Amino acid sequence: MQKYSVTIAGRHNTSFSLEEEFYAELKRIAKLKNLSVNELITKIDSTRQLDNLSSSIRIYILQFIKSEQSKL
């Protein structure tokens, strides 16, 4: 697991921890949505229902992958 630093909404510095596989998926999703990783995390942060940002990111990734699979 690795710790990553980001700036949320262009003004709030924070960090989160993710396994490399989750971070790779996060970058892939950001690219698909034409967003930077910081922009995607800002979006996740603005709608999250959990206190833990790392958990919210993992859930977002899982939901995104499930959504992709349901379109097949």
7-66 pLDDT tens trace = 988 888 999 999 999 999 999 999 999 999 999 999 999 998 888 999 999 999 999 999
> Number of folded domains in the chain?
1
Whole-number Å distance between alpha carbons of 35 and 51:
23
Please tell me the predicted confidence (pLDDT) of residue 69: 87
pTM: 0.89
Please check the confidence at residue 72 and state whether its pLDDT lies above 80: no
* Residue 57 domain boundaries: 2-70
Smallest CA-to-CA distance from 53 within 10, 11, 12 is with 12
Please tell me the predicted confidence (pLDDT) of residue 70: 86
